[in-house]
Amino acid sequence: MSDEKETAAGELDRTPLRDYLLQAEKMHAMSMLAPGFIHDAGTPLMAISSIAQFLSAKSTDPLVEQNLKQIGQAVDRLTQILRTIVDFSRPLCTLREKVYLNSLIMEAVRIVKYDRRLKYREVGTELEAAIPQVSASPDQLLQVIIALCLNAADALEAVPAGSLQLRSWHEGDQVHLSVTDSGTGIPLPDQPHLFTPWFTTRGSKGSGLGLFISRAIITAHGGTISLASEPGRGTCVEIILPALSEEEGV
């Protein structure tokens, strides 16, 4: 009887590991198949978009134009998902260089200010001037910062006077970056699942891969990413990366 209990307990103990390995295998297979799938899917999507635009230009029927507009929006949505899958399938942190995090933050702010949701919002920065460099892929870190800012933009849409704040500072041998919004916040039941692939709080607007990919990138850089959110008050995402020493940063 005791042997049966031990066996059952052992099986239960192995279940999380088995599930993790199965999920890892699925994600690996997806990364191998993604490039070919995206290439094959991109061509018909481009054709659909072109035909919809052509018909819309010729049509004088408001209902037809509205339907064609919805087709165009659906194509844009699928294209966004494909781009996200492309990002996921790329190797993480293959080439590193010495990077000033503040420069990437300012570049991200410059880019996201063109987003219609942030164009007339307060987007502030509080950057430590003497922050150490980090060893990183600048393109991938910039991708993460922009993704976090655009997530914040979604949360700010329903808040008339909401704002976005980016901060940088260092403590000991670590460099910190935070992206904080005063948006709607995230419901408590959703928060444990935010870094899970395919989970999204944005319904049909979200791919469910943004935070998952961001965490993979930060982890590949030897860092951590965490999120704290209070429903109705806003969300703060913090990234911690290992800093280069003064000798390494020269």
Q: Report helix angle 62-89 to 210-220, nearest 10.
A: 20
pLDDT of residue 1: 45
pLDDT of residue 12: 40
Residues 108 and 177 in one domain: yes
Residues 63 and 104 in one domain: no
Residues 147 and 85 in one domain: no
Question: End of a domain among 89, 116, 137?
Answer: 89
Question: End of a domain among 89, 113, 128?
Answer: 89
pLDDT of residue 224: 94
Residues 102 and 39 in one domain: no
- Longest Cα separation, the chain: 79
Helix and strand tally (H, E) in the chain?
A: 6, 7
Residues 76 and 103 in one domain: no
Residues 179 and 236 in one domain: yes
Asked if residue 189 lies in contact with residue 212, where contact means CB atoms within 8 angstroms, the answer is: no
Question: End of a domain among 42, 64, 89?
Answer: 89
- Provide the residue range defining the domain that includes 184: 97-249
Q: What is the CATH number of the domain that holds 205?
A: 3.30.565.10
Give the whole-angstrom CA distance, residue 36 versus residue 82. 11
Residues 180 and 133 in one domain: yes
Residues 84 and 106 in one domain: no
Domain count along the chain: 2
Residues 64 and 167 in one domain: no
pLDDT of residue 17: 58
Residues 186 and 148 in one domain: yes
Residues 59 and 7 in one domain: yes
Residues 34 and 64 in one domain: yes
| Full pLDDT tens readout for the chain, 250 residues | 444 444 444 444 455 556 555 655 655 555 555 556 666 666 777 788 888 888 888 888 888 888 888 888 777 767 766 666 666 555 555 678 899 999 999 999 988 888 778 877 888 899 999 899 999 988 889 889 988 998 888 888 878 888 899 999 999 999 999 999 998 888 887 877 777 776 566 555 555 667 888 888 898 899 999 999 988 889 999 999 999 977 665 5
Q: What is the CATH number of the domain that holds 14?
A: 1.10.287
Instruction: Give the H or E element holding residue 241.
Output: strand 234-242
Q: Please state whether beta strands 163-171 and 122-127 pair in parallel, antiparallel, or not at all (unpaired).
A: parallel
HEC profile of 37-105: HHHHHHHHHHHHHHHHHHHHHHCCCHHHHHHHHHHHHHHHHHHHHHHHHHHHHCCCCCCCEEECHHHHH
- Provide the 10 A C-beta neighbour count for residue 137: 19
